[in-house]
Amino acid sequence: MVNTNFSFELMAQSDEARLGRIFTSKGYIDTPAFMPVGTQGTIKGVFLDDIKRTGTQIILGNTYHLLLRPGIEVLKSYGGLHNFMNWKQPILTDSGGYQIMSLSKFNKIDLKIGAIFKSHIDGKKIILSPEKSIQVQKAIDSDIMMVLDECPKLTKDKKILSKAIHVSTNWAKRCKIELGNNKKKGLFGITQGGLYKDLRIESIEKLKDIQFDGYAMGGLAVGETQSNMFKILNETTRYLPQDKPRYLMGVGTPSDILGAVKEGIDMFDCVMPTRSGRTGLAFTWEGKINLKNAKFQKDKTPLDAKCDIKELNKYSKAYLHHLIKCDEMLASMLISLHNIYFYQQFMREIRTNIKNATFEKFFKKYINFFD
């Protein structure tokens, strides 16, 4: 185990694309980085030893879901989520802010208190205040914690977006106070403002005044077009501190990631690799492949001839097609693992091309490759 305070080193840059490294007490993370999503303390359908073999250096857990199950007391009894799920590398936890939006029919917002939920599991009343969110993340023993924020649904209404900035800034201050002086943990602020440049800059400046260890772009990947997402990143990412990691939450496809790296983003998470795996969709250097299609019924080639993790290169597309048609769970397990492996390959290629000052060529080749 590396005994170090949380820090970030910017190592190289190709235009706005950045090569860096995040240091935590559980190890370092090379950036740009992709974090597989383990919402409830597991990457769906994939063994953690195999996740590690893909080159994954950090995974994501979710404060709201882990608060409900298994709960703070169980997590404390294990000394945190790392021991509970047997993952010894860094963990980032979302604060529960996204669930305020995605489970809006179950909650209401009180600026002085926080979010008041009815559990989607049993209807029990749950209060998730900024302080409570940090307390849960402490119990999880997260290496990178996110402030509790209000993430509005996609809207053009500036009043709604301005209110979200006000609420989120207030909660961000309270989160930082609750965490206290803990140099081994990273605490990230989350910017809001929708697709409006002026609101995004306002949010960024308010968070910079509070001072965080990293900064996330929230309120994106909520239904806007890819071009609109890239546009607002292009207009506002430059206002984020150069010496802090930048995280685009909930993104995305390989093309989404590539375009956001070009605008200076360092960190990503998404359920895409495993969710696609469960539907028979594979990401490969040949492009996206829908293994449900009949044309793969007799295809003897593997998804990646070079991948020896779980000997994935021994499984033909025809066999995977067969498993899908038979509704065998092994299909989703193998394809999900392959997709995470591909995403980590993709991130390594991005980092290599930034280092070698060839990122622009790589970007042009692959930006529309997975459409």
pLDDT in tens, 177-206: 999 999 999 999 999 999 999 999 999 999
Across the range 98-117, mean pLDDT stands at 74
Residue range 164-176, pLDDT digits in tens = 999 999 999 999 9
Split at pLDDT 50, 70, 90, the class of 108 is confident
Across the range 218-222, mean pLDDT stands at 93
Q: Which fold has domain 7-95+129-276+349-366?
A: TIM Barrel (3.20.20)
Q: How many CA atoms lie within 13 A of 265 on its CB side?
A: 30
Residue 49: per-residue pLDDT: 96
Model-level pTM?
0.96
Residue 247: per-residue pLDDT: 98
Query: CA–CA separation, 71 vs 77, rounded Å?
Result: 10
Query: CA–CA separation, 148 vs 189, rounded Å?
Result: 9
Query: CA–CA separation, 85 vs 87, rounded Å?
Result: 6
Residue 101: per-residue pLDDT: 62
The conformation of residue 322, written as its DSSP 8-state character, comes to H
Residue range 312-348, pLDDT digits in tens = 999 999 999 999 999 999 999 999 999 999 999 999 9
Residue 113: per-residue pLDDT: 87
Residue 371: per-residue pLDDT: 82
> Among 102-111, 181-190, 264-273, where is mean pLDDT lowest?
102-111
Split at pLDDT 50, 70, 90, the class of 1 is very low
Is 237 in a helix, a strand, or coil?
helix
Split at pLDDT 50, 70, 90, the class of 141 is very high
- CA distances to 151, 206, 212, 235 from 165, in Å: 9, 9, 16, 18
Across the range 207-231, mean pLDDT stands at 97
Alpha helices in the chain (DSSP H): 48-53, 63-68, 72-77, 81-85, 97-102, 130-140, 158-179, 197-210, 226-236, 254-262, 272-277, 317-325, 329-355, 359-366
Split at pLDDT 50, 70, 90, the class of 100 is low
Q: Where are the domains of the chain?
A: 7-95+129-276+349-366, 280-337
Q: Is the pLDDT of residue 82 over 80?
A: yes
Q: Is the pLDDT of residue 97 over 80?
A: no
Across the range 261-268, mean pLDDT stands at 98
Across the range 202-231, mean pLDDT stands at 97
Across the range 98-106, mean pLDDT stands at 65
Q: Is the pLDDT of residue 272 over 50?
A: yes
Q: Are 108 and 116 in contact (CB under 8 A)?
A: yes
Q: Is the pLDDT of residue 39 over 50?
A: yes
Across the range 108-123, mean pLDDT stands at 82
Query: CA–CA separation, 251 vs 346, rounded Å?
Result: 14
Residue 102: per-residue pLDDT: 62
Residue 196: per-residue pLDDT: 98
Mean pLDDT over the full length of the chain = 95
Task: Please identify every residue annotated as catalytic.
Answer: 94, 269
Residue 107: per-residue pLDDT: 73
Dihedral, CA atoms, 67, 73, 79, 80, nearest 10 degrees?
-10
